Amino acid sequence: MRKLRKMVNNEKGNISLLMIAIMGGMLVLFVFILNLSKALAVKEQANTTAQQASLAATSVIYDHINTAIDLYDLHLLSLPLEPPPILLSMKVSEYKSSLAHNFKYRDYSANEINMEAIDLAIKSELSEGYDPLFLKGILESNLTGLVPSMISVAREVIKENHGNLEDAEMRFKDNRIYIKASNEYKATNYDKLLEGMHRKLFQESSGPEIDFLGELSIWNNTKILLREKDDDQKDTTDVEWE
């Protein structure tokens, strides 16, 4: 009888140990699943960060392009042309009206139609306009001067999305502005498992294509590092050409 009781007690003990082991394994599995979910969420956040920063940097160009267009129009008006020239700003307006009534662009927002109209008008003027070389020079000068503003807005968007500026990049490639940025992932630990594990998850995204950039001689495969300098250093920008 005592032997039987001892066997039963041993069985209960073994079952208890088994249950504890199963529960421990389930907790570890839960921690891994939780961390996988967190990693995917942080990766998606990093993608959003890069996407919004690239859109913001691209918007700087279109928000200020009218300065170059106005200067070119003034140049045309100063020329003794007969009949009077069709101004670049007029071409933009004509393209906007045409695109707004084009079924192909029915899903475009007013801002997207405006950007497309600017692209088409400038490309047209650069290929068969009154003074393409003058327009090219104005555009290159104007856009080069916008780089500090583009860097600034990209940095602000990254910081607003709790991203990291360290190792963040702005790249000009294929007539687009690419932003590479990261958000930090910190693992949830269990009984010192994964304790202290954290890393930066990077994503890269681009804004819409800026068609007329292909006609210019600037920014071809230019990479700009977006990191900020320390307080005791000048806030210069690191630029690399590939």
pLDDT of residue 14: 60
pLDDT of residue 232: 47
Question: Taking the CB of residue 194, how many other CB atoms lie within 10 A of it?
Answer: 16
Angle (CA) 75 76 82, round 5° = 150
What gap in Å lies between CA 145 and CA 26, rounded to an integer?
58
The two three-digit tokens of residue 144, written as one number: 């080069």
pLDDT confidence bin for 201, thresholds 50/70/90:
confident
What would you report as the CA-atom Rg of the chain, rounded to the nearest whole angstrom? Answer: 29
Helix (H) or strand (E) segment spanning residue 206: strand 198-206
pLDDT at 79 over 50: yes
Amino acid at residue number 77? L
Mean pLDDT of 182-200: 69
The two three-digit tokens of residue 99, written as one number: 């695109």
- pLDDT tens digits along 152-166: 999 999 999 999 998
Domain tally, the chain:
1
What gap in Å lies between CA 160 and CA 154, rounded to an integer?
10
Alpha helices per DSSP H over the chain: 2-77, 88-100, 110-128, 132-160
Query: Among candidates 198, 200, 205, 187, which has minimal Cα distance to 227?
Result: 200
- pLDDT tens digits along 44-63: 888 999 999 999 999 999 99
Amino acid at residue number 112? E
> What Cα–Cα distance (Å) separates residue 105 from each residue in 58, 102, 176, 206?
20, 6, 21, 21
Amino acid at residue number 207? G
The two three-digit tokens of residue 189, written as one number: 């630990």
Its domain, for residue 211, covers: 2-241
